[in-house]
Copies of this chain bind each other. A is one copy, B any other.
Amino acid sequence: MTRLSNHANIAERINAFLLEKLNQLAVNDEKLLEAMRYGLLIGGKRMRPYLAYITGDMLAANRQDIDAVAAALECIHAYSLLHDDLPAMDDDDLRRGQPTCHKAFDEATAILAGDSLQTLAFDILANHEFSPEIKPKQIKLIQQLVNASGYQGMCGGQALDLAATDKAISVTQLQHLHSLKTGALLEASVLMAAECSSKTTESDKAALSQYAQLVGLAYQVQDDIIDITSTEEQLGKPAGSDLEANKSTYPALLGLQGAQEKAQQLYQQALQALSTLPYNSQSLAEFATFIVKRSH
């Protein structure tokens, strides 16, 4: 992800912020805290924080406010990975080229670390010292994270994903599933960041929301393509794992070429959504390009 402007810089900032949050927790159980740190800080592209910061920068939001938004989003994302990797769910042994949390520790600890990271997300939003003009929106930010991550968002999407395994589903169903499973949190990344700026209009929010949903889908289509065209070494986990798990994917439903065309189409639509914004949205455009161009 080094080709993205400021990516290293942003990743460093959010990692330092997250580490500080973990270090502020009183030590009760070393192993659980270690597992939370492992799940939150080992690897990861920090895509959601990145989106939040570049959206916030575009809208002249205060980076100290974005810190909390980005950290809460990353905690939710990290907890979902710990739980999705569990034997009862996707049963993955590797994540980002490292043993998954339940392999490095044990299942009980991975479950509890996930639970605690979810709480930490709300902890960060509820305890952050937001700028005086953003403070009145603190509850709204929590509402946005709730909507994106719970039954009506990410968790619901993961349930649909599990239900779709070993089953034939339509492209529409697959799209709905991904819009909840990954789209909702990506959308929250731009919308929560937009909430931290006082100049964002309703029409800006609508365009950003559309952009994020389209990029989210493009990401998923590209992810499915990469799963069948990359090596284990490139992926940091076994290639072809979707096929092996008998999951519905875009290449399976549309063919490889159809999936590639789909990704291109979503990409163009995402750029179009950005074009309605009265700001310099170059970083967001660059992010969309990165999503569909990446090969691993």
Residues of chain A touching chain B, judged by Cβ–Cβ distance below 8 Å, are 25-26, 28-29, 31-33, 36, 79-80, 83, 86, 88-89, 106-109, 111-112, 114-116, 118-120, 122-123, 126-127, 138-139, 142-143, 146-147, 149-152, 155-160, 162-163, 180
CB distance A160 to B29 under 8 Å? yes
What's the least CB distance linking A26 to chain B, in Å? 6
Q: With A142-B142, A143-B127 given, is the CB distance from A116 to B150 under 8 Å? A: yes
CB–CB A155/B106 < 8 A? no
A33 & B151 in contact (Cβ 8 Å cutoff): yes
Contact across chains for B25 and A152 when beta carbons are under 8 A apart: yes
Instruction: Name the residue in A33, A88, A115 with the highest tally of chain B Cβ atoms < 10 Å from its Cβ.
Output: A115
- Chain B residues contacting A152 (CB-CB under 8 Å) are 25-26, 28
Given contacts A33-B151, A139-B138, A152-B25, contact A146 B160 (CB under 8 A): no
Cβ B114 vs Cβ A159 within 8 A: no
Question: Measured between C-beta atoms, what is the minimum distance from A132 to chain B in Å?
Answer: 14
The residue of chain B having its C-beta at the shortest distance from the C-beta of A127 within the complex is: B143
Partner of A126, one of B80, B143, B159: B143
Query: Which of B36, B86, B149 contacts A119 (CB under 8 A)?
Result: B149
Q: What are 22 A-B contacts with C-beta separation under 8 Å? A: A28-B157, A28-B159, A29-B160, A80-B115, A83-B111, A88-B111, A89-B108, A109-B159, A111-B111, A112-B162, A114-B115, A115-B115, A115-B150, A115-B155, A116-B151, A116-B155, A118-B118, A119-B146, A119-B149, A119-B151, A120-B150, A126-B146
- Which of B36, B122, B162 meets A122, CB within 8 Å? B122
Q: Which of B115, B138, B159 contacts A83 (CB 8 A)?
A: B115
Going nearest first, the 8 A-B pairs with the smallest beta carbon separation are: A119-B150, A88-B107, A28-B156, A29-B159, A32-B159, A116-B151, A116-B155, A126-B142
Please name the residue on chain B nearest to A158 by beta carbon. Answer: B112
- Are B111 and A89 neighbours in the complex by a CB distance under 8 Å? yes
Q: Which residues of the partner chain B approach A126 to less than 8 Å between Cβ atoms?
A: 139, 142-143, 146
- C-alpha spacing A89/B86, complex, angstroms: 13
Pick the residue among B28, B108, B155, B159 that contacts A151 (CB under 8 A). B28
Q: For residue A158, which residues in chain B have a CB less than 8 angstroms away from its CB?
A: 112
Interfacial chain B residues near A143, Cβ < 8 Å: 123, 126-127
Q: Which residue of B lies closest to A138 (CB)?
A: B139
Q: Report the bound CA distance from A83 to B88 in whole Å.
A: 13
Say which residue of B32, B36, B122, B138 sits within 8 Å of A146 (CB atoms): B122
